[in-house]
Amino acid sequence: MLSRGGRLIRRMTLRVLFHTNGRPRGYVRRMFPSAFSSRTAALAEEQRRSIAPSSRSYGKWVKRHDTLSAADREAIRAHLAQLPYKPLISVIVPTYNTPATVLREMVESVKAQLYPNWELCIADDASPEPHVAALLAELAAGDPRVKWVQRESNGHISAASNSALELASGAFVALLDHDDLLAEHALYEVAVELNAHPDAEIVYSDEDKIDEKGERYDPYFKPNYSYEQLLGQNVINHLGVYRRDSVIAVGGFRLGLEGSQDYDLALRIVHRCAPEQIRHIPAILYHWRQSPNGSSFSQEQLERCIVAARAAIQERLDETGTRAVVAVNPAVPVWHRVTWAIPTPAPLVSILIPTRDRAGLVRQCVDGILDRTDSDRPSNIGACSTASSPPNITPQTRPALR
């Protein structure tokens, strides 16, 4: 049986046939080799084996399947020249006391984008470290697409994100943390998706993590959009791209939800659009930097982030009139579990039991249904036996089987 990672890899390689959207054939073959080979099953299994939990194995997979060649870049640029729709994408970044090397690498990852129609909008949240403003001024001087502002006072991440949003003039905004990196083909992939689905409201991609040595690890190959999964975790996060008009229409980033401000934004926007307007790109386009000493906001303030996320989820449920309560997910405590109220009247649940000559087994099954379910309305449980020789089950005090 394939591991969870193996199943995700196989699903990604098979699904890519439906996500090529005119991308250069050579590029797609290199990035998703199993989609264009008669050895699909063998290569999918090979990829599954090569993406074992260790970072070394993932590094080999990255080198073989997720690294652009010079030919890939040339093919992408040729494809870009043919795209009819080339929207301006505003990459918005709130920053605060970011180490110089990390800040420069973030900016350079945007400048290295193969897709040229972007702008980088950075808001410095009144960093006391003087190198931040000096470095931003230097980086902006070399490229007019880099815009930045220094806030007069520290307002934390939501306020700083709104300041960066005020600089944006693109049709879409991409959210990037001040210490993370974009893959060089990230915005190209977004542009291709928007050409294929011009009515999209949200576009998101797969992601992985990157350490202080620049080693990538822990890939997250995401599924296509599901509202139920979004309530359980922020699956849209990293890389998340939103239509700017929609972000402005919902009021931007809300103060008081720092640490989960992106999650709250996604929850508010998904209620404004149809599920098919939320597009998933099955490619790793975002590298989430992990600090070895756990000094990032999401690492230091994890509990605060979780509390803010659950508050945002509960508010969305309440606003939509949904009778449900969000709580900790017992299986993954950093995720969330939504418990839905039983509707009134409670729906009938019909359980089909195919059987033959196994009265004892059927009795055990029915006992479990009637005595061990959580439903407080047992009359709404219907069991239908298809036995060729019906067992003799006649509990006088129980609801009749339907």
Report pLDDT digits (tens) over 222-251.
999 999 999 998 999 999 999 999 999 999
CB 267 within 8 A of CB 180: no
Task: Name the more confident of 351 and 188.
Answer: 188
Give the Å distances, CA to CA, from 222 to 8, 238, 310.
8, 11, 21
Q: Which helix (H) or strand (E) holds 64?
A: helix 55-65
Statement: residue 175 has pLDDT above 90: yes
Question: What pTM, to 2 d.p., does this model score?
Answer: 0.78
* pLDDT, position 15: 43
Q: For the chain, what percent of residues have pLDDT higher than 70?
A: 78
Under the banding of pLDDT at 50, 70 and 90, the label for residue 291 is: confident
DSSP 4: H
Statement: residue 90 has pLDDT above 80: yes
Closest to 185 in 3D by CA, of 31, 326, 291:
31
Give the lowest-confidence range in 90-94, 120-124, 159-163, 254-258: 254-258
pLDDT in tens, 340-382: 888 888 888 888 888 888 888 888 988 888 888 765 544 454 5
* pLDDT, position 7: 42
* pLDDT, position 348: 85
Closest to 320 in 3D by CA, of 260, 277, 271:
271
* pLDDT, position 350: 86
Q: Return all residues near 80 (Cβ < 8 A) that are at least 6 apart.
A: 86, 114, 115, 116, 188, 191
Statement: residue 194 has pLDDT above 50: yes
Closest to 283 in 3D by CA, of 39, 72, 71:
72
Cα 74 vs. chain centroid, distance in angstroms? Answer: 29
* pLDDT, position 89: 98
- Three-state SS at 148: strand
CB 364 within 8 A of CB 399: no
Under the banding of pLDDT at 50, 70 and 90, the label for residue 135 is: very high
Cα 317 vs. chain centroid, distance in angstroms? Answer: 20
Statement: residue 390 has pLDDT above 50: no
Query: Please, which contacts does 221-224 make with residues 24 or more away whose CB atoms are closer than 8 Å?
Result: 221/5, 221/8, 221/9, 221/11, 221/12, 221/282, 221/284, 222/280, 222/282, 223/11, 223/280, 224/280
Domain chopping of the chain, boundaries: 4-65, 84-337, 343-402
Instruction: Name residue, tokens 């149809």.
Output: 274
Under the banding of pLDDT at 50, 70 and 90, the label for residue 92 is: very high
CATH code of 84-337, in short, is 3.90.550.10
Statement: residue 47 has pLDDT above 80: no
State which amino acid sits at residue 205: S
Under the banding of pLDDT at 50, 70 and 90, the label for residue 384 is: low
Q: Return all residues near 14 (Cβ < 8 A) that are at least 6 apart.
A: 34, 35, 40, 44
* pLDDT, position 16: 43
